[in-house]
Amino acid sequence: MRGIHVVGGGGHAKVVVGTLQAAGYSVRAAFDDDPRKQGSRLLGVPVEGATREIEKLASARTVLAVGDNASRKRLAERFRTVDWVTVVHPEAFVHPSVRLGPGTVVFAGAVVQPDTVVGAHCIVNTGATVDHDCVLGDYVHVAPGANLAGEVRLDDGVLLGIGGTAAPGAAVGAWTTVGAGSTVIGELSAGVVAVGTPARPVRRASGD
């Protein structure tokens, strides 16, 4: 099996590396633009250099291990020649009818139920649940312990914060952040930061 390359050298990358290893992949190297991380190791995997090194690895099997949604989008658009790997932790449950986009990672303890569609470079984080018939756009992050009921729609770049919830049929517009522990009931517009129960916009988001 050809080795996997990881873009990112922080805490989120450590969990991605652990997920890859648990799923039986050989992780060859990680890359990060922070000089303080270069030369370090993530669960035994060397952080070999800056992300520009990926450009030299045509068709390399790669995972973006960066938690920030906008940063993942920029990196995905920058590295167009790599082979984006979709990874599911063996202790997650993903129903066979689910469609996962390229580069998406499903962490330990997560549950994704029937007929859900998940876009590219999404994160379904530790212990998160996504129920039936949900639709997640590209670059979505469902944070640890967050829960989506059935038929929820999260458009591109949405962050549903840790412990957040979305009621049945709720919808969140693109690049909106839903704060930790907040509950989405109904619809939230695009490009806002929303908090509370029910979640209400408090300011504009910084954008993608």
Of 5, 12, 89, 132, the active-site residue reads 132
Cβ-in-10-Å burial (0-12, 13-18, 19+) of 180 comes to middle
Closest of 138, 148, 165, 86 to residue 112, by C-alpha? 148
What is the rounded CA–CA span in Å between residue 71 and residue 64?
Answer: 10
Contact present, 162 and 12 (Cβ < 8 Å): no
User: Tokens representing 99?
Assistant: 């469609």
What is the rounded CA–CA span in Å between residue 81 and residue 39?
Answer: 25
Binding residues for substrate: 32-33, 67
132 is a catalytic site residue: yes
What is the rounded CA–CA span in Å between residue 13 and residue 52?
Answer: 17
Query: From residue 12, how far is each of 126, 139, 167, 187 by CA, in Å?
Result: 11, 15, 27, 29
Binding residues: 32-33, 67, 141, 162
Binding residues for acetyl-CoA: 141, 162
Catalytic residue annotation: 132
